[in-house]
């Protein structure tokens, strides 16, 4: 039987092991004392002091292997609670492999399994589960938001929330026992007040933690912005404008986009997956209908849902298909065409569109990239973000819904940036440029020609 983990001494290259670099760090752990290194280091191991850097030669059988810097961390005051030695060696991959083989073949070490150092830190209670999760998020982050949330979890913010929940549970239990055993002494009114107050505080903590786990965490690391709408609504033009290149084919022929197209766009320190979808309509073309089905699936599970509407070309019954979806923003396009105001009036008198607005809890935006736009809150800055809102739009609410909390717990911060900043840019600035300016440059001109 092979055990995945044991207590044997382990070694691994913790940095600089994938390509040549100036310095690579090799980490040893799980050894009883430094005597195991006595025949490999040119300085007496007795002179090696914890948390002090020592420059020395790495030797074996009187042959110079490398010149290294050794730092010793004596357990339990180390990362994983065990004795740990780190050697900074020259970072040529061949040199690193040679040193690893040296200690594996001649000193009784074995190569560590992926994550084994952190596993030992968890086993020795140097890290808790939420801190290990934060470390994983930190090491695999692809945005500033993920980095910050990783640091937040590693600092124990989630653990503090659990401890707070436990304390409020004990308070509520005490209130229940007090109401049962001493109600006559404290009075019914006071007993009920304490019981209601403790229960209310307990439920707030439970709901706050519950909100933090809603949704797919993978979506937070690479959030998706899905553009959806009926044919000729301007999705592909908007998609190209955000990317700054002609990625999607744009024509006047309805149904040009038959399958979804995705690209990564980097905005305000965050990598988004921007997706252009097929126009929502019924068609006898099996390929196009498969594209419509995929579009509905994508927008239903996306991080940010954006609907574009051409007031000159829309089918009211297709709005009914989308009524089950809560959109974060709706943009009305084609404002450069004659009769736009009349078209807008007809659209706003369409019952299925009004139901869609109501289901999404959207209100008209005071500052939209188009003449007409709808979002969460009275003032919207940039095409993607409500003022004082994270990417989902609700005031002071991150994408998971916890009050004043992003998905990992940063106070008053949505995943895309600081308070009052939408995910696409600073206050008063959308991804297309300065205030009142769309990607094409003219004042009040969005990518659709508004």
Residue-wise pLDDT for 259-300, tens only, equals 578 787 777 667 788 888 877 766 666 766 777 777 778 887
Pairing relationship of beta strands 304-309 and 329-332 according to DSSP bridges: parallel
Write the CA distances from 73 to 45, 94, 336, 395, integer angstroms.
Answer: 13, 27, 68, 47
Question: Residue 26: beta bridge partners?
Answer: 13, 87
Q: Nearest 5 degrees, angle CA 299-CA 302-CA 306?
A: 60
Task: Give the mean model confidence (pLDDT) for residues 73-81.
Answer: 94
Reported confidence tier of residue 72, pLDDT bands at 50, 70, 90? very high
Sign of CA dihedral 249, 254, 258, 259: positive
H helices of 16-156, where? Answer: 93-106, 116-123, 129-139, 144-154
The answer to whether residue 449 scores a pLDDT higher than 50 is no
CATH class of residue range 10-126: alpha beta
What pLDDT was estimated at residue 157? Answer: 74
Count how many Cα atoms sit within 13 Å of the Cα of residue 346 in the half-sphere of its side chain: 13
pLDDT digits (tens, 9 = 90+) for 319-361: 877 777 888 888 888 888 888 889 888 888 888 888 888 877 7
Task: Give the mean model confidence (pLDDT) for residues 170-179.
Answer: 90
Q: How far is 402 from 409, CA to CA, in rounded Å?
A: 8
Supply φ then ψ for residue 344, to 5 degrees.
-60, -45
Task: Give the mean model confidence (pLDDT) for residues 91-114.
Answer: 94
Reported confidence tier of residue 431, pLDDT bands at 50, 70, 90? very low
Total residues belonging to the chain: 450
pLDDT digits (tens, 9 = 90+) for 38-68: 999 999 999 999 999 999 999 999 899 999 9
The domain segmentation of the chain, as residue ranges, is 10-126, 144-212, 218-386
Fold of 218-386: Rossmann fold (3.40.50)
Residue 388 per-residue DSSP state: T
């Amino acid at each position: 039987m092979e055990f995945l983990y044991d207590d044997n001494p382990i070694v691994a290259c913790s940095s600089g092991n994938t390509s040549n670099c100036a310095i690579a760090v090799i980490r040893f752990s799980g050894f009883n004392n430094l005597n195991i290194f006595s025949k490999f280091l040119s300085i007496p191991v007795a002179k090696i002091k914890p948390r002090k850097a020592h420059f020395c030669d790495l030797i074996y059988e009187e042959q110079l292997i490398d010149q290294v810097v050794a730092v010793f961390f004596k357990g339990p005051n180390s990362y994983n609670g065990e004795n740990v030695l780190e050697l900074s060696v020259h970072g040529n991959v061949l040199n690193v492999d040679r040193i690893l083989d040296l200690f594996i073949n001649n000193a009784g070490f074995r190569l560590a399994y992926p994550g084994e150092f952190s596993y030992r830190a968890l086993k020795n209670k140097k890290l808790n589960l939420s801190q290990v999760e934060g470390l994983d998020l930190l090491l695999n982050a692809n945005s500033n938001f993920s980095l910050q949330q990783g640091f937040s979890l590693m600092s124990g913010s989630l653990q503090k929330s659990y401890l707070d929940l436990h304390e409020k549970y004990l308070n509520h239990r005490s209130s229940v026992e007090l109401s049962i055993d001493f109600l006559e002494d404290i009075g019914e009114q006071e007993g009920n007040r304490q019981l209601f107050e403790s229960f209310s505080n307990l439920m707030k903590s439970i709901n706050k933690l519950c909100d933090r786990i809603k949704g797919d965490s993978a979506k937070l690391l690479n959030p998706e912005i899905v553009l959806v709408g009926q044919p000729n609504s301007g999705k592909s033009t908007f998609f190209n404008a955000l990317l700054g290149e002609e990625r999607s084919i744009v024509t006047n022929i309805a149904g040009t986009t038959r399958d979804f197209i995705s690209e990564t766009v980097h905005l305000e320190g965050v990598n988004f997956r921007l997706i252009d979808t097929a126009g929502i309509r019924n068609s006898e073309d099996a390929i196009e209908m498969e594209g419509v089905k995929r579009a509905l699936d994508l927008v239903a599970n996306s991080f940010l849902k954006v609907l574009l509407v051409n007031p000159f070309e829309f089918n009211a019954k297709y709005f009914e298909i989308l009524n089950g979806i809560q959109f974060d923003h709706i943009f009305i396009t084609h404002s450069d065409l004659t009769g736009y105001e009349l078209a807008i009036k007809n659209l706003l008198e369409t019952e299925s569109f009004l139901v869609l607005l109501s289901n999404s809890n959207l209100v008209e935006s005071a500052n939209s990239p188009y003449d007409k736009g709808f979002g969460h809150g009275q003032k919207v800055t940039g095409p993607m973000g409500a003022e004082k809102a994270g990417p989902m739009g609700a005031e002071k609410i991150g994408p998971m819904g916890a009050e004043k909390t992003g998905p990992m717990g940063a106070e008053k911060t949505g995943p895309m940036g600081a308070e009052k900043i939408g995910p696409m840019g600073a206050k008063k600035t959308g991804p297309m440029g300065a205030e009142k300016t769309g990607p094409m440059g003219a004042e009040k001109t969005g990518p659709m020609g508004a």
